[in-house]
Amino acid sequence: MGKVFQDKICDICGFRGKVIETWGKKYCRSCWDKKPKALGTGHSGMLKSDAVNQQWFNFDNSLKLTKTPKGNKIFATIYLEHYPQSKGIVGRQCNYFVERKGKILGIIGGNSPPLNYKKFNVFFGNGFNEKNWLNNNVYRLLIREKNLGTKVLRLFRHQIKIDYEQQYKDKLIGLVTFVEPPRTGSLYKADNWTYLGITQGKQCKRQGSHGKWINKEWSEGTKKYIYGRLL
């Protein structure tokens, strides 16, 4: 409702007296009541709909993650170029191409984390185990673009939770990652991941199948920063 004035002339019928002024026009009470009203009270006809998908608010909605098996040759090539000493991806896993308008911008993925890792157990709390979180084991973008890294990481957090629970029937409550110096994990900090400490520099190699890792082999490795994120 507009402003109310005394002793003014209605622009519709010419009545002089108490009028309501809105959007440059004056209405007496009678003309105001006859004035067509837009649907929706108090918002000029604007109505909120629960049917609006939150994804519509992502201005870069052409950015997407496409799930792929680790054996895909393009994925494997990008991965092994980034980690030439890797023995491959084992355990539970969700691997993705980062795509936009049909072009591959990079890869990202999560797989089974190290077992019985005290820092993870403390961070995620009692009642959960290694089946309830994943290690962001690879993240490689092939192009440089402002804010692209955090956009992909945010999209990854949402997508992997859905895909993991559908594939493995276990609740995914969070993610962890290891950052090797000289990197400091600034990308994860920007996405509100929590710094959990630094590794002891021990490297563990495992072999196994069906989500179970056996035959542990420990060796000296590089100390890495550890970050965790609740979903």
The ranges assigned to domains in the chain are 1-48, 66-230
pLDDT of amino acid 79: 95
Confidence of residue 37 (pLDDT cuts 50, 70, 90): low
Cα 145 to Cα 135, 156, 190, distances in angstroms: 25, 17, 15
Residue type present at position 203: Q
Residue 162 in this model has a pLDDT that exceeds 90: yes
pLDDT of amino acid 153: 97
- Average pLDDT (79-106) is 93
Confidence of residue 199 (pLDDT cuts 50, 70, 90): confident
Q: What is the pLDDT of residues 187-197, one digit of tens each?
A: 999 999 999 99
pLDDT of amino acid 86: 86
Place of tokens 């792929």: 68
Cα 93 to Cα 18, 88, 97, 121, distances in angstroms: 72, 12, 14, 20
Percent of the chain with pLDDT over 90: 54
- Average pLDDT (13-18) is 88
Residue 184 in this model has a pLDDT that exceeds 80: yes
Domain 66-230: assigned CATH number: 3.40.630.30
- Average pLDDT (62-91) is 93
Q: Which two tokens stand for residue 104?
A: 């591959």
Residue 63 burial (10 A CB sphere; 0-12, 13-18, 19+) = middle
Q: Which residue has the higher pLDDT, 11 or 205?
A: 11
Residue 65 in this model has a pLDDT that exceeds 90: yes
**Angstrom distance (rounded) from CA 207 to CA 88:** 10
- Average pLDDT (114-125) is 89
Judging by DSSP bridges, how do beta strands 3-9 and 16-22 pair with one another?
A: antiparallel
pLDDT of amino acid 55: 47
pLDDT of amino acid 18: 87
Whether cis (ω within 30° of 0) applies to the bond prior to 182 is yes
Residue 45 in this model has a pLDDT that exceeds 70: no
Residue 49 in this model has a pLDDT that exceeds 80: no
**Angstrom distance (rounded) from CA 63 to CA 155:** 9
Percent of the chain with pLDDT over 70: 79
